[in-house]
């Protein structure tokens, strides 16, 4: 049986679209390796072991800062997800459309292609689409229009800011900051302030509970939540309340870097497209747009309307799904023979 699939290998999550069932498989892009050679678990199951596993089990993320850092483990992950995407049916071959970031080297782009091409899955054809293009299609932007649109995709390790016009990318920039960096900052500030070492999962929970881009330090509406960790002095388990004041202190620099990057790209955008963006606003996507009021902050700092989308972490894979199912997009993906990766 031969089918067509869409693939978006993100830093935090991997998404596969099955063109036959029309379903999206979205799980953590994590793999657990036992004794350096045996694949013990992949995806959400492996993520459950993160920062909990014994020394003989290595839990790792094959994609770092938006590019593939571990090709072998990424191949193993892809093979497992391909089987799962087909609900364990025997499907040994297929055609694939994969999404790649724009502002990375050609060698880094090639690695996304090689994951599928060098895997044990029999591949009939692989075509490539730039992530900002898939993002634009996924959120419903008219690709035939010459009007300019700006998309800000805030991911786990990177933020990709792009201006789209006439079905192509006019200008794009990747900033190496995202939700994972924010979690690491929260870990560090809690350790520095309270001498408590917490895990990244706990930091992420604090982020969801307390992070607010429009929070005012010293506000009467300050919130707290209790966190558990290890006291770095006594070595014993410890619990204490963490305030929204502290979390805002942790995320301030992250918010400034995102806003500054958007402003910098706007300054480099051709004037005619800038006028279009002012009319249409900025489209905000990506899995790390979860921070409360981040769209309001960007609107205040840029003076532009911010358009949010449903399930922003899946906008790229939804775009690939449209490319697969709608003939009007069939010329958008390219193969290595048509364009050097």
Task: Report which secondary-structure segment, H or E, holds 93.
Answer: strand 93-100
Query: Per residue in 302-317, pLDDT tens?
Result: 999 999 998 999 999 9
Query: Could you tell me the two tokens for 17?
Result: 């679209």
Given a contact cutoff of 8 angstroms between Cβ atoms, the answer to whether 71 and 114 are in contact is yes
Domain 144-308, what architecture?
2-Layer Sandwich (3.30)
Fold of 2-135+316-329: Nucleotidyltransferase; domain 5 (3.30.420)
DSSP code of 334? Answer: B
**What mean pLDDT do residues 16-26 have?**
94
Position 1 pLDDT exceeds 50: no
Do residues 239 and 198 lie in contact, with contact meaning Cβ atoms separated by under 8 Å? no
- Average pLDDT (146-175) is 95
What is the pLDDT at residue 45?
A: 96
CA distance 317 to 95: 15
Matching fold, domains 2-135+316-329 and 144-308: yes
Q: Which is nearest to 323 in space by CA: 26, 98, 83, 92?
A: 98
CB 133 within 8 A of CB 99: no
**Per-residue confidence band for 321, with pLDDT thresholds at 50, 70 and 90:** very high
Question: Domain ranges in the chain?
Answer: 2-135+316-329, 144-308
**pTM of the full structure:** 0.91
Determine contact, residues 153/177, Cβ cutoff 8 Å. Answer: no
């Amino acid at each position: 049986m031969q089918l067509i699939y869409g693939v978006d290998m993100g830093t935090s999550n991997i998404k596969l679209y099955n063109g036959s069932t029309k379903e999206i498989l979205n799980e953590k892009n994590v793999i657990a390796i036992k004794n350096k050679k045996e694949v013990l678990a992949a995806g959400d199951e492996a993520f459950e072991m993160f920062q909990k596993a014994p020394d003989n089990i290595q839990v790792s993320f094959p994609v770092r800062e938006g590019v593939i850092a571990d090709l072998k483990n990424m191949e193993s992950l892809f093979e497992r997800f391909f089987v799962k995407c087909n609900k364990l049916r025997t499907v040994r071959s297929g055609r694939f459309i994969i999404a790649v970031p724009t502002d990375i080297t050609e060698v880094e782009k090639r690695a996304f292609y090689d994951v599928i091409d060098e895997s044990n899955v029999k591949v009939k054809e692989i075509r490539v689409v730039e992530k900002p293009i898939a993002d634009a299609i996924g959120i419903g932007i008219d690709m035939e229009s010459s009007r300019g649109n700006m998309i800000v995709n805030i991911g786990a390790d990177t933020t990709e800011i792009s201006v789209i016009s006439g079905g192509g990318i006019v200008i794009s920039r990747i900033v190496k900051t995202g939700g994972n960096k924010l979690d690491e900052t929260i870990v560090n500030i809690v350790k520095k302030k309270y001498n408590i070492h917490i895990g990244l999962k706990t930091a992420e929970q604090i982020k969801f509970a307390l992070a607010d881009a429009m929070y005012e330090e010293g506000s009467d509406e300050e919130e707290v939540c209790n966190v558990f960790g290890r006291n770095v002095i006594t070595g014993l388990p410890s619990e204490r309340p963490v305030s929204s004041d502290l979390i805002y202190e942790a995320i301030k620099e992250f918010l400034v870097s995102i806003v500054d990057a958007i402003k910098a790209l706007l300054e480099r955008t051709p004037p005619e497209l800038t006028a279009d963006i002012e009319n249409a606003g900025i489209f905000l996507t990506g899995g790390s747009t979860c921070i409360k009021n981040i769209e309001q902050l960007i609107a205040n700092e840029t003076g532009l309307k911010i358009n949010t989308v449903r399930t922003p972490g899946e906008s790229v894979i939804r775009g690939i799904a449209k490319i697969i199912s709608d003939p009007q997009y069939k010329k958008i993906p390219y193969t290595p023979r048509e364009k050097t990766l």
